[in-house]
Amino acid sequence: MSACGHEKGLISIDEAIDHILNTVKPLGTENIELQNSLSRYLAQPIHSPVNLPSFDQSAVDGYALCASDIIEKNQCFELIGEIRAGQSSDLVLKAGQATRIFTGGKLPEGCTTIARQEIVHRLDEHQIQITESLQANIDIRRQGEELALGQQVANKDQYLKTGPLAALSMAGVHLVDVYRQPKVAVVITGDEVATEQNSLSNAHVYDANGPLIKAWFQERHIQVEILHIHDEAKALTELFARLKNHYDVIVTTGGVSVGDYDFVRPCAFEVGFKEIFWKVKQKPGKPIFFAKYQQDQHACYLLGLPGNPAAVYVCMQVYTRLLIDALQGQNQNIDWFEVKLAQPLKADKRERFMRMKLELHAGELSAANLANQQSHMLSNLMDANCLVRVPADISPEVGTLVSAIRI
């Protein structure tokens, strides 16, 4: 059992989350083209600018018919024309008349029902026979049956993934008001980190944090600038002084603990950042640091992550996620779900974030523990699909309910 949980001054995970949500103010909004809005949050609800469909249309390839009553089996109709999808037609059907029509074609005046082509026998160029009885209003899409003009189609704060974006496109929406995405700089500290593939020596390690963080932001369609810097206080102070006025967020890795070369906190203070919290009673990621710089209307938030890659991954999934969403108007906690543990676990003085695998057995979902949970190890991410919160000071048994998020 780790002794780190006895350290004084540590705040809880929930307290750290509250600090972020209570500190961060949303950025402004902008009006952009819908086609460029993937992974953005709507700043205003959207109402349909059109009826959908915008006109009565055929739902199938077939024949538009005009009949005064139920159409009987083998009833014949005079064929007077053809209407293709996208074609405007002045055809007017009278009782006993029909026109060829295709899916999406605008119904001609007088149409009472559609006969799909599978139940139509073509007698000659000018006459068809219906091989089954047919009711009125079959296979017709009525104007506005999906969406009416002015109907709300999207709520404020809707997250625009592929599906919602496609639905808004079909409704004729071209411009949307969205929250501005933050401008982010990522600073990778540490003399031990190899910045190039061929620069690895027997005292260096490959950079996992830079690609990890870049990929995390790419999944959200947020561009970031990745910067590597040596463990030198003067250089780091100068870098922070430059970045704070041009970025909304600075994410750092390494240099936030109490070592002789951990310069992130003192260098941040040197250029005007004010500490919100430092050190959380969690494992991994205890020395996480959160600070804010304010100059007139501009704010820059610094999230100092530990250097170990698993700690970086966990903190990105929880704290960076909260920070980035809050800047985009989403000021609420992560949507945790409950799941049962598949194996018993040993106790720890700190609350743990553990990488696990969701599995379904006999219709019941459970979280299975994975090996290599140490903060410097990432190999279990090949199998992990959730991050589980294991409370401190308990030895949970099989079936214990815990909170989790999908990763």
* Average confidence (pLDDT) over 312-330: 98
Which is nearest to 267 in space by CA: 295, 299, 243? Answer: 243
Lowest mean pLDDT among 4-13, 146-155, 388-397: 4-13
Question: How many Å apart are CA 263 and CA 235, to the nearest integer?
Answer: 10
Helix (H) or strand (E) holding 206: strand 205-206
Paired strand residues for 368: 357
Question: How many Å apart are CA 314 and CA 303, to the nearest integer?
Answer: 13
170 and 120 fall within a common domain: no
Question: How many Å apart are CA 222 and CA 329, to the nearest integer?
Answer: 16
Q: What is the CATH number of the domain that holds 207?
A: 3.40.980.10
The pTM (predicted TM-score) of the whole model is 0.89
pLDDT digits (tens, 9 = 90+) for 63-80: 999 999 999 999 999 999
219 and 323 fall within a common domain: yes
The radius of gyration computed from the CA coordinates of the chain, to the nearest angstrom, equals 31
> What's the one-letter identity of residue 288?
I
252 and 317 fall within a common domain: yes
Contact, 256 vs 308, CB < 8 A? Answer: no
Q: What is the CATH number of the domain that holds 68?
A: 2.170.190.11
- Torsion angle of C-alpha atoms 323, 327, 330, 335, degrees rounded to 10: -10
At residue 88, the pLDDT reads: 87
Question: How many Å apart are CA 281 and CA 3, to the nearest integer?
Answer: 11
Residues in the chain: 407
Measuring CA to CA, how many Å separate 157 from each of 152, 185, 328? 13, 25, 9
At residue 206, the pLDDT reads: 78
Question: How many Å apart are CA 283 and CA 110, to the nearest integer?
Answer: 72
pLDDT digits (tens, 9 = 90+) for 190-202: 876 666 655 555 5
- Torsion angle of C-alpha atoms 321, 322, 325, 326, degrees rounded to 10: -160
In this structure, how many other beta carbons lie within 10 angstroms of the beta carbon of residue 110? 16
At residue 258, the pLDDT reads: 87
Inside any domain, residue 355: yes
**Count: domains in the chain:** 4
| pLDDT exceeds 50 at position 2 | no
- Helix segments in 244-292, DSSP class H: 264-270
Inside any domain, residue 368: yes
In this structure, how many other beta carbons lie within 10 angstroms of the beta carbon of residue 335? 7
The range of the structural domain enclosing residue 104 comes to 57-141
Q: What is the CATH number of the domain that holds 360?
A: 2.40.340.10
pLDDT band, very low/low/confident/very high, at 6 (cuts 50, 70, 90) = low
Question: How many Å apart are CA 307 and CA 313, to the nearest integer?
Answer: 10
Question: How many Å apart are CA 321 and CA 42, to the nearest integer?
Answer: 17
| pLDDT exceeds 80 at position 262 | yes
